[in-house]
């Protein structure tokens, strides 16, 4: 009986420890995101390296379009050696009843064979009041993007956005700046 009681106490202590650790590292997510204002073109200023984005990609950008059913069409584009790469997907609120900017994004990989959906988290961690700059991540802190409505931002703004990510527990030493042309490539027809 004493062993069972000891095991129960250890379980309670471990649960308390995990609760403290998880809550201590909780990520702040934007509340009441105005999804209509968030729509449009965003340029990737910096990102964490990932298996799904080539390290030599340039002019990386995302275009969001609100659908009639409340979902968001996502078009991600970049260029490698002058060749355009793109993927399209659909974003939707992870919890429709929540006021937090926690979205899920579903892509079909490869786009020409839409049988295998890949879904990921897209959490808006910060957005400025003018909807010009955003910091986007997720619960695992494995992915991070710094976005801007313009293809280039000043150093002070960049440092401020990096600090916001750091404050949320992201290892900002992994950030890679995304090369952006002075004249970004033209829009895809119809976008």
**pLDDT reported for residue 36:** 97
**pLDDT reported for residue 51:** 83
Question: What's this model's pTM, rounded to 2 decimal places?
Answer: 0.81
**pLDDT reported for residue 158:** 98
Domains and CATH numbers, the chain: 35-177 (2.40.128.20)
pLDDT in tens, 138-155: 999 999 999 999 999 999
**pLDDT reported for residue 110:** 65
**pLDDT reported for residue 99:** 96
Query: In the chain, which stretches have pLDDT less than 50?
Result: 1-24, 189-191
**pLDDT reported for residue 159:** 98
Q: What is the DSSP string of the chain?
A: -HHHHHHHHHHHHHHHHHHHHHHHTPPP--BS--HHHH-EEEEEEEE--BTTB-TT-EEEEEEEEE-TTS-EEEEEEEEETTEEEEEEEEEEESSTT--B-EEEEEEESSTTSTT-EEEEEEEEEEE-TTS-EEEEE-TTSS--EEEESSS---HHHHHHHHHHHHHTT--GGG-EEPP--SSPPPPPTT-
């Amino acid at each position: 009986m004493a062993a069972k009681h000891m095991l129960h106490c250890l379980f309670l202590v471990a649960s308390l420890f995990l609760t403290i650790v998880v809550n201590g590292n909780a990520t702040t997510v934007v509340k009441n995101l105005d999804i209509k204002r968030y729509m449009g073109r965003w340029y990737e200023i910096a990102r964490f390296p990932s298996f799904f984005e080539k390290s030599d990609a340039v002019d990386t950008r995302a275009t969001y379009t609100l659908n009639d059913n409340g979902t968001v069409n996502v078009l991600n584009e970049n260029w490698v050696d002058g060749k355009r790469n793109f993927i399209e997907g659909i974003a939707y609120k992870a919890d429709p009843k929540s006021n937090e900017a926690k979205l899920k994004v579903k892509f079909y990989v490869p786009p020409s064979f839409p049988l295998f959906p890949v879904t990921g988290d897209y959490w808006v961690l910060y957005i400025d009041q003018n909807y010009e700059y955003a910091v986007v991540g997720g619960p695992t802190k494995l992915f991070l993007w710094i976005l801007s409505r313009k293809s280039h931002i000043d150093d002070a703004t960049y440092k401020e956005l990096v600090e916001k990510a750091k404050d949320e527990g992201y290892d900002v030493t992994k950030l890679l700046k995304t090369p952006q042309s002075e004249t970004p490539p033209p829009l895809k027809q119809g976008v």
